[in-house]
Chains A and B, each alone.
Chain A
Amino acid sequence: MSVLLEVDHLKTILHTGDSPVRAVDGLSLKIRKGETFALLGESGCGKSMTALSIMRLLPDSGEIQSGTIKLNGTDILQLPEASMRQIRGKLISMIFQEPMLNLNPVMTIAEQINEVLRHHFKLDKKTAQNRILELLNQVGIPDASQRMHEYSFQFSGGMKQRAMIAMALAGNPELLVADEPTTALDVTIQAQVLDLMRQIQQQQQMAILLITHDLGVVSEMAHQVAVMYAGEIVEQTSRENFFSQPAHPYSRQLFASLPEKQKRDQALAVISGTVPSLARKFTGCRFADRCNHATAYCHEHVPQWHTIAANHKVRCHLYDTAAEWVEKKPLSEITTGNTTTAKPHRIDKPLLQVTDLKVHFPIRKGFFKRIVGQVMAVDGVSLKISEGKTLALVGESGCGKTTVGKSILQLIEPTAGSVRYNDHELVDMQRQQLRQMRAQFQFVFQDPYSSLNPRMRIIDIIQEGMDALNIQIPASDIQATPLPSYSHVKAVDALLECVGLPKETKWRYPHEFSGGQRQRIAIARALAVNPRLLICDEPTSALDVSVQAQILNLLKSLQSDLGLAYLFITHNIAVVEYLADEIAVMYLGRIVEHGHIDEVIANPRHPYTQALLSAVPHITKESRPDMIKLKGDLPSPASPPAGCHFHPRCPHAMPVCRQSYPQASAISPTHITHCYLYSQEHCSTHHEH
């Protein structure tokens, strides 16, 4: 196949701050027609800048310093802006990460697509409308003739991304640049969008430059894979080679740091440190600081490309066959850290018991704020967590899992139900009484950037909880140090050490830390009051894979050392498999399946769990088994469908599903699901309703 896009020694710099940031530093790649080329890397390594350079849509502070970008043989960097405008949308088009931010809310979808058509083709109004309809049908928007005249806010997230794709396809591009096209979407929607992109590619023989940080998405989509690190490509090969024999230490360490079920009883491999700042000058290999095979030579000499197999090249001194001086180490093993021992004592006394928890938010309208409806965010959830165990609460965004976490802590007042912690009822407890209980359970938030006050020092952040709850420092400490504040300082030191940060960091402000370090601080803050239950709300979803491994290791070691119980709220199945003892799957405010982790993952019973598990992109060397595709999106919790909430999307829907919500069916003593596919008589409560 002929080469469509050829990028050669592209150098893009950003003029921000005091020294220029070399966002893309000598990048070369070739994309052939009809091929999906995946550019893989952690955040801050220059992936998006590469895409914007190819589109010539760099921000004002950006500048392409040197290099060529040849599209069908013409160097587009030499073209004037006017001819570039003919190329954008026609030859290359782009899909962005956030579909919500990239559609104009005051224009209908049809008008926005028509903008592209009007610019590139001279169509009369009738043909333009037909073409828009055709495009929307092609990307699978149901009832397209009606919906094309709707505004973007009337579309759901997945629909918006489909509309974006339709817009990108409007000019019949030869190259589609997709910058993290599914990162903002849920797994089931992600599966739909990826599937759509694959189909369209086959139909139109279009090339795709796929930019992502997700190894799973790469494995699903890519033909060619390039791993990007600190502004340059460090490894480039075919998908098969990459997943069977990753060569660069960075790629290998990325694989090792992925949480998986098989790694349950061991710590994940950790890539030490963070992605280096691109503003600094590099003398040797850029990965040398974090590489566990690095030698002194790596720090001093820039590695060149070494071809290790046909169509597989890598930029690493380890593969330099000509060089004798490189100390050859066996590459086979990657240190996985010390393995944690199996948990010592298993007590099955429930620490937290949630029964029939309901959180309804009233919808108010009009001048007098009359209540016109209820958003049933949480609608009868029951959970049980034993001491030292981890319960994972899994579900798509908008299903109410975060609300469950917050209402357990009484940060949101539950509408009904009971939350019992160690036989103390928390619902309707007085503020003063509740305050005394607060030390027992703490929360770790999703976004480490907004969960720390930017204007407080770390020591103040960690001490706040201790001060508010009057946490006593044991007598031995106080004898040694008469000042109570001083013993607090010691406690802060101990906590920082416990989460793996140096003591000196307590005098600094949150903005001086990276995302992973901030999440450690947030965990230290929660631990400061000696909790026994930690509710973690997607603690790793804002972090890169290598940093995620650090946090997961930390959580696991804290559990084995301190006997903490976790309620782990997440949408990431791989993390659940790695960490959880039990799993509860939530759909639209209710738990649809609950059981021991092995039972549910190995043998999912509810159709939604089955679909959810099959939609997770897996890293497999061979092509995957068939996926269960779900139709449509999550319905609004303000007006859930009658009967089983899942029936409009369920492939096995029966007439009975539309009438009433199914009762629990026990598959085994620990495994429960709510579905009519399974005999309902196992459940004794069935006839009471």
Chain B
Amino acid sequence: MSFKPVILWTDALIFLLVVIVLAFIWYVRDDEHLTAPWRRVGHSASGMSALTVLLVFITIGLLDTLHFRPALEHKNLQGEAVYSVEVLSVLDVLVTPLRTHVEKTYSAPLATHLYAKETIEMPDGSKIRAFSRLEFGGAHLQNPETEHLPDIGWRAALGFALGLFVWCILHVALCFIMAHRSGRRVARCFQSVWQRSTEIPWYAILITLAVISVFIGILSMLSTHYHVLGTDKVGQDVLYLSLKSIRIALIIGTLTTLIMLPFALLLGITAGYFRGWIDDVIQYIYTTLSSIPSVLLIAATVLMMQVYIETHPELFETIAARADLRLLFLCVILGITSWTSLCRLLRGETLKLREMEYIQAAHAFGVSHWRIISRHILPNVMYIVLIATVMDFSGLVLAEAVLSYVGVGVDPSMISFGTMINAARMEMAREPMVWWSLLAAFGFMLTLVLSANLFADAVQKALDPRVRTFTQNNDDPGADDNSNFTITTAHAAAKSAVPSLTSAPDIKPTRQP
């Protein structure tokens, strides 16, 4: 099947972000002083489990970011391939059964029948009102009443075994890699993992992985023949909706931060560093901005944007492109309204730093303002930026949900947690109640935000110089060497104090006449 790759605006920005993160990792890797705090992140068991969960979410999000338009069967008059107006992602292809198995309307999780009675015309012409069979959910069962539960149980067990099997392969692969790296026997590595004596808490990661792989195994076995989380009003699979929502949540969480960072960094640091009227102006700007209700501001801009999109339909090739532009602008607006708190933090920290003696020493050398900001202040406030961005991430994911609920969030055609919750508003009022849509959105959001928060906690602990969470291995020779070295140099320093009197004339040539 030929296809045409589509790069939406948000996709491009996500790729940019991935490149930046990879570049950062590559940069940090070479620098011992910079890697040390990140190693400490690796020592936290809860942080690493949270990171594992986050990585699963990020993988789903990235798969959903690779967009393309599949070619249609027929060709146009010139013999060129014609591409579908529907934009698909790699994730859509992977979960094709979920995407295409659309029922008529609501059905409960794992059900075989619809949730509402409808009038069915019997073969003999008579009409009865009954729960009709689903088109896809449990369609393979001849006799749902008796076969339903055993079938589910059997498939779940199979999925469980499959998940466990995959996990075992991962575990063995890990032990082999560790053995290869450390030059120890595989069994020894296996032992050290479960005796919790490894530097990185692999046992925690493996337990998390076990839970995740079992879950994925069960879901994948069941979802081919059932709607695991039910269907919504128009019969779409709720599991599919939830998976699609992950990308939107991640985009809102990360891109918004990316947009707000330059504002916060530039304005916060300049306000704190230069003080005087610059500080006054910036302070008045952010005080004013933070006193306007942000929902109002966001609603106004989103509506303006929408009007623009509606009046210029020729600018957009597909519906996805339209929705995507609206999403991007939502990120921009959220970013513009949310930089104030970080800006305030950075201003305060810079006010403190600019009085530090090393900044004054730099002034005494006549170092330019720009160099002082970039070499002295920025590296020393980076830890605040990092903590604040990770903390903001979860807040923004929740903000999207709230805004979509209010109706100023993402495009209605776009699947997001916000639109799911918004739809659930009506379903909660039904009798009998439709609860699964809301529950699915709740469960996914909780997992995502909780793991982001736990990871942020671990990062904060590791990067805060006041909290020391070192757990150093006794068989780690680096630490001991270091301390010995410090002692020997201290010794050498004092010893060479006297010879320095004689060696001092050596540097005389470096003095200017």
**A and B: interacting chains:** yes
How far is it, in angstroms, between the C-alpha of A525 and the C-alpha of B360 when the chains are bound?
13
Chain A residue contacts of B501, Cβ below 8 A: 267, 338, 340, 557, 561
Question: Which B residues are within 8 Å of any A CB, using their own CB?
Answer: 33, 356-358, 360-368, 371, 375-376, 379-380, 468, 470-472, 474, 479, 482-483, 486-487, 489-501, 503-512
- Take A17-B470, A455-B379, A498-B507 as given contacts and tell me if A442 and B364 are in contact as well, using a CB distance cutoff of 8 Å: yes
- What are 25 A-B residue pairs whose CB atoms fall within 8 Å in the complex? A17-B468, A273-B491, A337-B498, A338-B501, A409-B364, A411-B360, A443-B364, A453-B375, A454-B380, A455-B379, A461-B358, A464-B365, A468-B362, A468-B368, A495-B507, A500-B493, A502-B489, A502-B493, A513-B486, A517-B493, A525-B361, A530-B510, A557-B500, A557-B504, A562-B508
Tell me what chain B mostly uses at the interface: helix, strand, loop, or mixed.
helix
- Take A277-B483, A438-B365, A530-B510 as given contacts and tell me if A450 and B494 are in contact as well, using a CB distance cutoff of 8 Å: no
User: Do A455 and B360 touch (CB < 8 A)?
Assistant: no
Least CB distance from B136 to A in Å reads: 58
User: Do B468 and A16 touch (CB < 8 A)?
Assistant: yes
User: Do B367 and A464 touch (CB < 8 A)?
Assistant: yes
Tell me what chain A mostly uses at the interface: helix, strand, loop, or mixed.
loop
Closest A-chain residue to B496, C-beta based?
A500
Chain A residue contacts of B357, Cβ below 8 A: 445-447, 450-451
User: Do B495 and A272 touch (CB < 8 A)?
Assistant: yes
Closest B-chain residue to A441, C-beta based?
B364
Mark each residue of chain A from 70 to 106: 1 if its CB lies under 8 Å from any CB of chain B, else 0: 0000000000000000000000000000000000000
- Take A491-B510, A495-B507, A497-B506 as given contacts and tell me if A502 and B492 are in contact as well, using a CB distance cutoff of 8 Å: yes
Can you add 6 more A-B contacts, CB < 8 Å, to A456-B379, A468-B367? A274-B490, A277-B483, A411-B363, A474-B510, A500-B497, A514-B490
Mark each residue of chain A from 331 to 373: 1 if its CB lies under 8 Å from any CB of chain B, else 0: 0000001101000000000000000000000000000000000
Chain A residue contacts of B367, Cβ below 8 A: 464-465, 468
Within 517-569 of A, Cβ neighbours of B (below 8 Å) are at 517, 520, 522, 525-526, 529-530, 550, 553-554, 557-558, 561-562
User: Do B360 and A445 touch (CB < 8 A)?
Assistant: yes
User: Do A411 and B358 touch (CB < 8 A)?
Assistant: no
User: Do B506 and A517 touch (CB < 8 A)?
Assistant: no
How far is it, in angstroms, between the C-alpha of A415 and the C-alpha of B107 when the chains are bound?
81
How many A-B residue pairs have C-beta atoms within 8 angstroms? Tell me. 162
User: Do B512 and A530 touch (CB < 8 A)?
Assistant: yes
Question: Which A residues are within 8 Å of any B CB, using their own CB?
Answer: 16-18, 267, 270-274, 276-277, 289, 337-338, 340, 406, 409, 411, 434-435, 438, 442-443, 445-447, 450-457, 461, 464-465, 468-469, 471-474, 476-477, 491, 494-495, 497-502, 504-505, 509, 512-514, 516-517, 520, 522, 525-526, 529-530, 550, 553-554, 557-558, 561-562
Chain A residue contacts of B510, Cβ below 8 A: 473-474, 477, 491, 494, 530
Least CB distance from A565 to B in Å reads: 15
User: Do B379 and A438 touch (CB < 8 A)?
Assistant: no
Chain B residue contacts of A522, Cβ below 8 A: 361
Chain A residue contacts of B498, Cβ below 8 A: 267, 270, 337-338
Least CB distance from A334 to B in Å reads: 14
How far is it, in angstroms, between the C-alpha of A445 and the C-alpha of B360 when the chains are bound?
9
Chain B residue contacts of A509, Cβ below 8 A: 33
Chain A residue contacts of B365, Cβ below 8 A: 438, 442, 464-465, 468-469, 529
Closest 6 CB pairs of A and B: A435-B366, A272-B494, A451-B357, A465-B365, A494-B507, A445-B357
User: Do A554 and B497 touch (CB < 8 A)?
Assistant: yes
Chain A residue contacts of B487, Cβ below 8 A: 273, 276-277
Chain A residue contacts of B361, Cβ below 8 A: 443, 445, 451, 522, 525-526
Chain B residue contacts of A561, Cβ below 8 A: 501, 504-505, 508
Q: Which of A289, A456, A465, A505 contacts B375 (CB under 8 A)? A: A456
Closest B-chain residue to A451, C-beta based?
B357
User: Do B358 and A452 touch (CB < 8 A)?
Assistant: yes
Chain A residue contacts of B483, Cβ below 8 A: 277
User: Do A530 and B511 touch (CB < 8 A)?
Assistant: yes
Chain B residue contacts of A465, Cβ below 8 A: 365, 367
User: Do B500 and A498 touch (CB < 8 A)?
Assistant: yes
User: Do A558 and B504 touch (CB < 8 A)?
Assistant: yes
Which of A273, A447, A491 has the most B CB atoms < 10 Å from its CB?
A273
- Take A273-B490, A509-B33, A529-B365 as given contacts and tell me if A562 and B500 are in contact as well, using a CB distance cutoff of 8 Å: no
Closest B-chain residue to A551, C-beta based?
B497
User: Do B494 and A553 touch (CB < 8 A)?
Assistant: no
